[in-house]
Each structure stands twice: as C-alpha cells, then as structure tokens.
Amino acid sequence: MSSRSALPSTPVAPATVLAAAVRSGERTALDVLEEHLARISDHEVDVHAFNLVLEDRARESAAAVDARVAAGGDPGPLAGVPVALKDNLCTRGVATTCSSRILEGWEPPYDATVVQRLAAAGAVVVGKTNLDEFAMGSSTEHSATGPTRNPHDLDRVPGGSSGGSAAAVAAGFAPVALGSDTGGSIRQPAALCGVVGVKPTYGLVSRLGLVAFASSLDQVGPFAATVADAALVCEVVGGHDPGDSTSLPQDFPRVLAHLDDGVEGMRIGLVTEMLGEGIAVDVAARVRAAAEALTAAGAEVEEVSIPAVTYGLSAYYLVAPAEASSNLARYDGVRYGRRVDAPTAGEMMVATRTAGFGDEVKRRIVLGTYALSAGYYDAFYGKALRVRTLIREEFDAAYERLDALISPASPTTAFAFGDKTADPVQMYLNDVCTIPSNLAGHPALSVPFGVGDDGLPVGVQVMAPALGEVAAFRVAAVLESVAPSAGAPS
C-alpha cells in the first residue's frame, strides 16, 4: 500500500457544522465555498470528479446566502453548504450531459425537484459530476468524458455509476453530493470511495428531473462524509412531490432525530448469501466485524438466509435494460441534444443514436429490446418480474423478525482501471449485493467500516424494509461511531 498514489488527506468540516457556522454568521458562505473551490483547483486534474465546475454561479449563490444572513434571515438547514450533483440531474440553463455525447450542448429548461429543494435549503451547487453514461456501469469507465479516479488510489476506479459524486465527497470537493441508484450506483461507489451513500425507499425522493434509466428502480440519494450529513440531505430533498406520479404521499422519515438512539435491542440479520462465493474474504471479514460491533452495542445479530437474492442479478439485467431500452428511445435527435443530419427523419435518428451512444448503452438497449421482443418476453422479462416478487416476499418474511439486514455493499474494494470492461458479466457482479434492494424498492445504505487487505475502504451495506430508514440510519450511526478509520483519504 506504500505504492498507492492517494490524494493528501485534508480534514473537511461536515455539512452540519458548515451550515451552523454560516447560519450564525461565524463564517460566510463565500468563505466556505472558496475553501472547496481551492481544493477542486488543486486536485480535480488528478480525480476528474466533475463534468462541469460552476465557480461563477456558485459564487453568486453563496453571495445570496450571505446576503440573507446579513439581512437577519435564515437561508435554511444547508446554508452555504457546497453540493455536487450527478450530471443526470436536470439543472436549468446548465449543461446536463449524463456523460453521453448524445446530450452534448443540452441545457435543461427546468431544475429537478431535488435541485430546487437543495437551493431552497441554502445549498450552493459547485458542479455536475461524472458518471457512467446514463448511469449504466459500476466503475465510471463508461463515460464519454473519461473515467473518474478514486481519491484513495488514483490507479483505481471510484465505482459507479455515481463515481464522480462519490469521489467529489471523498476528495473534499464538497461535503455532500447527490447521486442516483438503480442497482447500486450510490452504495457501491460510496463503499469504494470510503464515504456514506444512501438509496432511500422507492418513492420517497422525487424523480422529477432525474434523467430516467430504469424508472421502477431509479432513486435519488445522498453521498456524505458523515451519517448525519447524509440524514440531513435526505430530509431536505425527500418527501412528496406532486410532479412525480410514483412519489409517496408523505415526508421523509425523521432520521436525524434518531441518530443517537443506538441499536440496543434491535434485531439484525447477516445475509448468508452475501458472505460466501463471489465476496472477497477480507470484505466478508469486515462485515463480520461490523456484526460483532453491533452485538457489542446491544443488538441481537443472527445469520439469515434469503435464497431469492441469488437470482437478483439475473432479474436486474433483464428488467433494467428492458426499461432502459424504452426510456432511451427519446434520444432521437428531434427535441434536444445532438443531431447527426441525414436525408430522412428515420436515417437521421439512426445516425444520431449510433454516433451519440457509447458501447455499454448500446449493449443494454439491444439486451433490453431483445428481452422484450415477441417469443422471449415471457421467458425473460416476465420471469424477471416474478423474481422481483419472490425477493420482496423473502425480504418481508425476514423483516417480520428482524429490524435490519447487513452485508457487503460491494464484493471487493476498488479495482484497477480496465479490469472488468471487457467482460460485462464480471462488471455486473459488482452490484450483486446492492441490486436486491432496488428490485424490492427497499432502502439501503453503505457506511465505511475500515479497510481491506489492500488498505482501501470497505463499505457495510445496511438494508431495511420499505420506509425503514430510521432503523437503517440507527445501525449506520453506530457503525460509524466504532469504525476503525474515518472516510477521508489516508
């Protein structure tokens, strides 16, 4: 591990501390922003977390926050907190590329609901972060703007698809960031970059203005250096949105109020199927150490078998591409983004899509179209939807006795560039522990818990039943308090 090239460690204040300082007038939002912009200016060239850094707009937002404080107002719970946004979240008048050539030059005509809510809470957007094209990938290598590097080891991937957001928080470019998670795209990069990442219950956070990948699985959530910061961002961006027909008619659960509750008396399951074959021995050992820590904190921990989760990967790689093939039909060179001219509309659409999409996106569109085609629909897509029911039913049965489940968030620590790009199945196996929660619609998060044999971060996944965010955050807060090392680069 001495040969690793990591970013120098700099202590970065959590969002909760920064917002309190800005609200009280102890620090200005502009001062907080400049501190983070300086770090971006020093290290972004090595990391490539961002597709776009918004220095000028961020300075205007920060100045507006300071003006409100000076006038005696309260800018809100994220006053002056720099945030990074995954570049598949719409920002009005600001390029939103999904790291795809096909959206080159597009500036959305509206802000995503989560972006509006961050701004209303006083947050300052510092930039749009890199991702695997249209959020399809587990390493951020499938990006038209080039890969993001892991701040803990610049020769390794940050995970994906929200690799830019995870790296931005790990590098101290912003204390918090938003990502999206369709099969693990928040939790897996959070694990590989040593930060906290949360995928809320499906329907708790608005998808309006999140560029759609697989609509029945996609969910927006935060990255943060601390569990409390992640909880704060969840409460700010979550809750009902009339503009999203799948939005649940309720507020985000009050997780902040329960962070100090501990786990005394909680019943927690260690998922057998997520500790054996395919899981690195050192990662599994960290998860067992987490189980021991929870036991020591007063929880009852037992192993539990949930056999259906072993079918999650197969079901996901039929359901998600099927939905993607439909969602990505909209990129036809007519309404937004790039167009490649041709004599007829049909030829123009083929030329535009062929030039605009990268290989992984094309692969998934073909797979999804195939899975939905006559003759294969029942064998593949129809079967996969029934597996979703099976997984949810087995989870629900476990949650009759248990309050939460734990597992690895990722089967390994961060891997090297190029390791898995030639073999899609190997790449897809990165999501084997995270996919079941998406298929079920349940909340799950990743919290750092020490390092593997290579000295790189390991994330423990905490899963809970639908709307069980309070239980997941209580477990995460305890694990954070006893974790062997902090999330900052070593």
Partner 1 sequence: MSDRPERISAEEVDAVARLAMLALTEDQVERFAHQLADVLDHAADIEALDLDGVEPMARPVRVVNVLRPDEPGPALDRDEVLGQAPAAEDGQFRVPPVLGGAP
* Nearest C-alpha neighbor of 488 from the set 457, 447, 462, 459: 457
Task: Specify the residue, 281 or 425, whose C-beta has the smaller distance to partner 1.
Answer: 425
Residues 55, 370, 452, 454: which binds partner 1 (CB under 8 A)? Answer: 370
- Shortest distance, CB of residue 389 to partner 1, whole angstroms? 4
Task: Specify the residue, 20 or 351, whose C-beta has the smaller distance to partner 1.
Answer: 351
Rounded to 5 degrees, what are φ and ψ at 470? Answer: -60, -45
Residues 50, 173, 252, 380: which binds partner 1 (CB under 8 A)? Answer: 380
* Nearest C-alpha neighbor of 139 from the set 68, 205, 191, 75: 191
Quote the distance between the C-alpha of residue 278 and its chain's center: 22
Q: Which stretch binds partner 1 (CB under 8 A): 64-72, 347-355, 402-410, 479-487?
A: 347-355
Task: Specify the residue, 57 or 59, whose C-beta has the smaller distance to partner 1.
Answer: 57
- Shortest distance, CB of residue 397 to partner 1, whole angstroms? 14
Task: Specify the residue, 13 or 340, whose C-beta has the smaller distance to partner 1.
Answer: 340
Quote the distance between the C-alpha of residue 403 and its chain's center: 23
Site mask, partner 1, residues 51-90, x = CB under 8 A? ----------------------------------------
- Shortest distance, CB of residue 250 to partner 1, whole angstroms? 12
Site mask, partner 1, residues 303-322, x = CB under 8 A? -------xx-xxx-xx----
Give catalytic status of residue 446 as yes or no: no
* Three-class SS of the chain: CCCCCCCCCCCCCCHHHHHHHHHCCCCCHHHHHHHHHHHHHHHHHHHCCEEEECHHHHHHHHHHHHHHHHCCCCCCCCCCCEEEEECCECECCECCCCCCHHHCCCCCCCCCHHHHHHHHCCCEEEEEECCCHHHCCCCCCCCCCCCCCECCECCECCCCCCHHHHHHHHCCCCCEEEEEECCCCCHHHHHHHCCEEEECCCCCECCCCECCCCCCCCEEEEEECCHHHHHHHHHHHECCCCCCCCCCCCCCCCCHHHCCCCCCCCEEEEEHHHCCCCCCHHHHHHHHHHHHHHHHCCCEEEEECCHHHHHHHHHHHHHHHHHHHHHHHHCCCCCCCCCCCCCCHHHHHHHHHHHHCCHHHHHHHHHHHHHHCCCCCHHHHHHHHHHHHHHHHHHHHHHCCCCEEEEECCCCCCCECCCCCCCHHHHHHHHCCCHHHHHHCCCEEEEEEEECCCCCEEEEEEECCCCCHHHHHHHHHHHHHHCCCCCCCC
Q: Which stretch binds partner 1 (CB under 8 A): 55-63, 344-352, 402-410, 473-481?
A: 344-352
- Shortest distance, CB of residue 237 to partner 1, whole angstroms? 18
Task: Specify the residue, 370 or 417, whose C-beta has the smaller distance to partner 1.
Answer: 370
Q: How many residues does the chain have?
A: 490
Site mask, partner 1, residues 97-136, x = CB under 8 A? ---------xxxxx--------------------------
Task: Specify the residue, 86 or 388, whose C-beta has the smaller distance to partner 1.
Answer: 388
- Shortest distance, CB of residue 248 to partner 1, whole angstroms? 7
Task: Specify the residue, 100 or 325, whose C-beta has the smaller distance to partner 1.
Answer: 325
Catalytic residue among 162, 165, 185, 410: 185
d(CA 181, CA 169): 17
Q: Segment 192-221, which members bind partner 1 (CB under 8 A)? A: 202-203, 215-216
- Shortest distance, CB of residue 425 to partner 1, whole angstroms? 5
Catalytic residue among 61, 139, 161, 446: 161
- Shortest distance, CB of residue 326 to partner 1, whole angstroms? 10
Q: Token pair for residue 418?
A: 């190029």
Residues 44, 141, 229, 332: which binds partner 1 (CB under 8 A)? Answer: 332
Task: Specify the residue, 116 or 369, whose C-beta has the smaller distance to partner 1.
Answer: 369
Q: Segment 241-280, which members bind partner 1 (CB under 8 A)? A: 242, 245-246, 248
Give the count of beta carbons closer than 10 Å to the beta carbon of residue 183. Answer: 31
Q: Which stretch binds partner 1 (CB under 8 A): 18-26, 121-129, 240-248, 282-290?
A: 240-248
Residues 428, 445, 461, 475: which binds partner 1 (CB under 8 A)? Answer: 428
Site for partner 1 contains 390 (CB under 8 A): yes
- Shortest distance, CB of residue 428 to partner 1, whole angstroms? 7
Give catalytic status of residue 86 as yes or no: yes
Catalytic residues: 86, 161, 185
